[in-house]
């Protein structure tokens, strides 16, 4: 189980940790961009409670398609309206208790473990060191076991469970425990580090399940209820509101995760990873994933519509095919333009105030083969104008690998159109990301 997630720059067209596929982002290249663009955050992925330092300088967009949900598994729509939810809250001050009683039995605790090799520090093998200490050099076991705790929720009665990929990444064993005390050995059907979604199967029938809402209909100010196992405290319930929707992975500080997050002030903590975020009707609207370290009342969840789309593919074929171009991008503004042009080390000269600047093109990538260059400013893809790197990411994520993207751009003051066929996002790059 991987207990350390390592996100990277702001929103690249990179692998799942923000590293360019097969070619980790080079700090020497990074130093070429203006320091004024640099920001840092610390994000805690909640399954293992490990704080991760994040540095990012520009919109490095991880471009990959949001897979299309199978036609026979449509996302259920939210039946009650917001006014109905408010009325329910007003007439039943204990409506959260009712929701917890309904949904709580389908929320599970996930204990995972993995065995890793232990290496003796090189200094202990130094002949000079051993000359003085001889056989008194401390001995370490050849292997050690790493354990982590997270949450999940049951989506069908035949034992299919959804959680975060970082909760079970690399796990040798997975144990699923229900609220009623029953426990089962779990099998990971698939995990997708790009979206941080994983699917687990247990051998059981007739299990309680969660009702599913429609995250596309969410609005700030709606109720948000989190259930999970923070810090090992099983079946913990917290409540708040939806603070915002559509928070880009760049804004959150994990550009490698191709997700537009739900932000909530419902208290979530390490161990909540993979647990459900519910609306006032008790429907799952998101999967709790991360918090910003040091901040209060700022948590993030993956919208349930995207979770289901990814989970369907993981359950059916064990993986998700994400489209990939192979570029790093910057959202242009007048200030960004000024910073780039005034920095002699940026290596770029920009004349446009708006658009999406191609900061880097990865060798042998689909973009490279199609003829995109660093310094190009993307202004339109197909018939859709683009002004932000996140828009480009979204478009590419909605593109199949067999499609072709017609990209209109500015190059040296001239308008050009280049057609690119996305490639499959390299799997090995996903393994490097956390």
| Residue 81 confidence (pLDDT) | 46
Do residues 35 and 276 touch, judged by C-beta distance below 8 A? Answer: no
Residue ranges of the chain with per-residue pLDDT less than 70: 1-90, 117-143, 427-434
- Give CATH for domain 44-54+68-103+214-305: 2.40.10.10
Fold agreement (44-54+68-103+214-305, 104-202): yes
pTM for the whole structure:
0.70
pLDDT of residue 82: 53
CATH topology assigned to domain 1-43+55-65+321-434: Pdz3 Domain (2.30.42)
pLDDT of residue 126: 65
CATH of range 104-202; options 3.40.190.10, 2.70.98.40, 2.40.10.10, 3.40.50.300: 2.40.10.10
* Domain boundaries along the sequence of the chain: 1-43+55-65+321-434, 44-54+68-103+214-305, 104-202
Residues designated as active site: 166, 196, 273
């Amino acid at each position: 189980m991987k207990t350390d997630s390592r996100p990277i720059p702001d929103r690249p067209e990179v692998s799942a940790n923000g590293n360019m596929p097969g070619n980790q982002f080079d700090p020497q290249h990074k130093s070429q961009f203006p320091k004024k663009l640099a920001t840092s955050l610390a994000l805690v992925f909640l399954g293992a409670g490990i704080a991760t330092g994040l540095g990012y300088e520009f919109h490095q967009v991880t471009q990959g398609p949001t897979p299309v949900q199978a036609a026979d598994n449509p996302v259920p729509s939210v039946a009650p309206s917001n006014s109905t939810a408010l009325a329910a809250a007003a007439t039943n001050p204990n409506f959260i208790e009712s929701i917890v009683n309904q949904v709580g039995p389908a929320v599970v605790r996930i204990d995972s473990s993995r065995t890793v090799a232990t290496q003796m520090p090189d200094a202990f093998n130094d002949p000079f060191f051993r000359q003085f200490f001889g056989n008194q050099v401390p001995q370490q076991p050849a292997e050690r076991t790493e354990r982590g705790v997270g949450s999940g929720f049951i989506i069908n009665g035949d034992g299919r469970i959804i959680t975060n990929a970082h909760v079970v990444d690399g796990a040798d064993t997975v144990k699923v425990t229900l609220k009623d005390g029953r426990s089962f050995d779990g099998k990971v059907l698939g995990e997708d580090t790009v979206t941080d979604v994983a699917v687990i199967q247990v051998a059981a029938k007739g299990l309680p399940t969660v009702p599913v809402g429609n995250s596309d209909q969410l609005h700030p100010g709606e109720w948000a209820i989190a259930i999970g196992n923070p810090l090992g405290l099983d079946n913990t319930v917290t409540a708040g509101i939806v603070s915002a929707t559509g928070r880009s992975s760049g804004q959150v500080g994990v550009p490698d995760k191709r997700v537009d997050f739900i932000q909530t002030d419902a208290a979530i903590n390490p161990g909540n990873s993979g647990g459900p975020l519910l609306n006032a009707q008790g429907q799952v609207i998101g999967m709790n994933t991360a918090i910003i370290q040091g901040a209060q009342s700022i948590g993030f969840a993956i919208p349930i519509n995207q979770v289901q789309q990814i989970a369907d593919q993981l359950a059916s074929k064990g993986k998700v095919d994400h489209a990939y171009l192979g570029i790093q991008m910057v959202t242009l503004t007048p200030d960004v333009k000024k910073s780039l042009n005034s920095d002699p080390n940026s290596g770029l000269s920009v004349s446009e105030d708006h658009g999406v600047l191609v900061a880097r093109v990865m060798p042998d990538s689909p973009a490279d083969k199609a003829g995109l260059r660093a310094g190009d400013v993307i202004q339109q893809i197909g018939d859709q104008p683009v002004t932000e790197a996140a828009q480009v990411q979204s478009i590419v994520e909605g593109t199949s690998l067999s499609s072709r993207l017609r990209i209109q751009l500015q190059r040296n003051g001239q308008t050009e159109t280049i057609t690119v066929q996305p490639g499959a996002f390299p799997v090995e790059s996903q393994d490097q990301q956390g």
